[in-house]
Structure 1
Amino acid sequence: MSDTTALPGTPRTTPRPGDPPMHRLEVRLPDQVPFAAGTFDTIGPMSRAAFPHRHTFYEIVHVTAGTGTHVVDLARWELHPPHLGLILPGQLHHWEDTRGLDGSVVLFTEAFLLDHPGDRDLLRRLGEHPWLTLDGPTHARTGRLMAELVEEYGHGADGFATVLRSLLHVLLVRTARLRGPGTPAPPPGRPAAVAEEFDRLLARTGTDGRSVRAYAELMGVTPGYLTEAVRAATGRTPGSLLRDARTREAQRLLARTELSVRQIAARTGFSDPAYFCRFFRRETGTSPGDFRKHHDRRAPSIEAGGPPA
């Protein structure tokens, strides 16, 4: 998906002056599964990056040892392991003055959430309380799940992607049970509230072919204000998130149904199947037919010693 996964060597989008780096999950082949799991060591030095940066993917960290501080946007958490943390796409984060940082890391894009589309809403809710200190039993259960994810990813046996999605779903559901009371919603009209409303609308109607301008009119704001609000909250534009939503649904339908490409095009807001095929190839690097054939094929998203996350 554009700005989400990319082949090594693909030119990176140049940040605007003053913007922090935006990191992508790099893949070797277009039909790879956009997922990676490992330790801080095997994922690579960027998993401990000490400079502020953003991701186009989700990151879950299970910190089992270390001292220092984890900083996400304007929030700072001192390390007193064990912890479970979530970094959402677009959030600014870095590790500060860490020593002995150890644990497990899981990276994935929204395109990975084929079997459990509701996990996207779970992740949004978990993002309200993204840093948890775990008690003994919860730490042990989380450690077992993270270890299974790392092992399944490493082996890459037949059906590994389906197993990974199931294990990830269990991890998210169990983590959602741990979070505290929800924080009050920001007042309507503020940029964060506008971005959240756009996210909710996108989850319900992102495949009906509406334009960004149509969403702005529906929300009672200008397209320019919607763009600035969403960019401030996620580091991305409404248009790119809208393309992601349509691509995710197309991937889900290709992987999980027998609908024809023409039918899937119609269901994702495209009246012209040929244009849909061009859109899909541009966003994913592969054709709808090839994606359907190879979507569960083993190929690591990040290799030890390979490109940085």
Structure 2
Amino acid sequence: MGRSSDSTPTLSRSVRTVRADGTPIYRWEQSPGVPPVRVVPLDPDCDTEHLPPDNRHAHDFWVLAYVERGGGAVGLDGRQVALRDGEVHAVAPGEVVAAESLAELTHARAWSVAFTPDAIPSLASISPLTWTHHPLLALFAADGRRALVPEADRPRWLALLADLAEELRHPDRLGAHDAVTATLTNLLVASARLAPSAPIAPDPLVSRVFDEIERTYATKVTAGDLARSLGYTPGHLTTVIRQRTGRTLLDWLTERRLTEARRLLRETDLPLSVISTRTGLTDPGYLVRRFKARYGTTPDRWRREW
């Protein structure tokens, strides 16, 4: 994403893993007390030193990019996409982004909104395995994953992006989290309304994997068990799922379990020992470790502050 000339927060990223072709997949780094959203203006001054030499990379999170001023082209999952004024692009997890020459983009200006869907309560309360089918994320499931914002609506897009950046600069300000959620929701609604009516056909293998996770996550099933039940070796299925979604098989299994743990923390007063059993997370200690690694806080503190 990069560095802007003002105090807009940068997206802290680290390489989760590297694909077989050498493409790094960057992971979301959650900061305690901060919504899982970042907005960064992309312009000639942005920082690209962290990218590989050919700028080829992927994410395990979601990115909505609005092109304020076009110029040049980027590669999105193997296709060349020209950057045109007023276009919005949805970059799904695992999709490979590449720019053969950053010099081609020196006249372009865009806004990158990176987020995890659980920044929005209506998405946080459902299985992450169904996120791609949610109406708010319609542009991410659309053929081409891009749309043109009508010229009359472009000032509103810029205002929403500026508002989102401003709220994220002051996460401790009264109502900041609610404002971030509302503004991000408005952006996703606006992008979804521009999405073509015909979505991309779901990946059959990913659908099978997600169905199996949904069926078994509450048990002590492992990623290896899931792979073997579907007729694959664990290493092969993990590699394929990572390439197609930006996350490994274990990542998705853990994400589903933690989503259920958050629901139980929010809606019940069950102790951690019961929650860990009901989510397949083995024991309270393991639940605490996984929860803190994912959300930057403990389950007990998250429950108190919800």
TM-score, structure 1 normalization: 0.74
Q: What amino acid is aligned across from residue 164 of structure 1 in structure 2?
A: V
Quick one: distance in 2 between partners of 1:172 and 1:43?
Answer: 27
Quick one: distance in 2 between partners of 1:279 and 1:273?
Answer: 10
Sort the Cα spacing of 1:281 and 1:167 in 2 relative to 1 into closer, same or farther, 3 A.
same
Count of residue correspondences: 280
Q: 2:81 aligns with which of 77, 82, 102?
A: 77
Match for residue 42 of structure 2? 40
Paired-residue identity, %: 27
Deviation of residue 102 (structure 1)? 1.2
Deviation of residue 14 (structure 1)? 5.9
Comparing 10-19 with 63-72, greater Cα deviation is found at: 10-19
Quick one: distance in 2 between partners of 1:17 and 1:219?
Answer: 22
Residues 48, 94 of structure 1: 8 Å contact kept: no
> Unaligned 5+ residue runs, structure 1?
1-6, 187-191, 296-309
Query: Would you say 1:259 and 2:269 are equivalent positions?
Result: yes
Deviation of residue 76 (structure 1)? 1.8
Query: Would you say 1:273 and 2:288 are equivalent positions?
Result: no
> Unaligned 5+ residue runs, structure 2?
1-10
Q: For residue 245 of structure 1, give the secondary structure of its aligned residue in structure 2.
A: helix
Sort the Cα spacing of 1:51 and 1:163 in 2 relative to 1 into closer, same or farther, 3 A.
same
Match for residue 301 of structure 2? 290
Match for residue 5 of structure 2? none
Deviation of residue 207 (structure 1)? 4.4
Q: Please list, as runs of the form range in 1=range in 2, the aligned pairs for 1:230-269 lying within 5 A after superposition.
A: 230-254=241-265, 256-262=266-272, 263-269=274-280
Quick one: distance in 2 between partners of 1:66 and 1:253?
Answer: 46
TM-score, structure 2 normalization: 0.74
After superposition, give the CA deviation of every residue in 1:221-251 in whole Å (9 maximum; x if it has no partner): 5545532331221243211221122223434
Match for residue 188 of structure 2? 172
Sort the Cα spacing of 1:144 and 1:11 in 2 relative to 1 into closer, same or farther, 3 A.
closer
Q: Please list, as runs of the form range in 1=range in 2, the aligned pairs for 1:1-309 lying within 5 A after superposition.
A: 12-13=15-16, 15=18, 18-26=21-29, 29-40=31-42, 44-46=46-48, 51-96=55-100, 97-117=104-124, 120-121=131-132, 122=134, 125-129=138-142, 130-156=145-171, 157-183=173-199, 185=201, 192-199=203-210, 202=213, 204-205=214-215, 207-209=217-219, 210-216=221-227, 219=230, 221=232, 223-254=234-265, 256-262=266-272, 263-270=274-281, 272-293=283-304
Sort the Cα spacing of 1:194 and 1:258 in 2 relative to 1 into closer, same or farther, 3 A.
same
Deviation of residue 101 (structure 1)? 1.8
Quick one: distance in 1 between partners of 2:45 and 2:285?
Answer: 38
Residues 116, 165 of structure 1: 8 Å contact kept: no
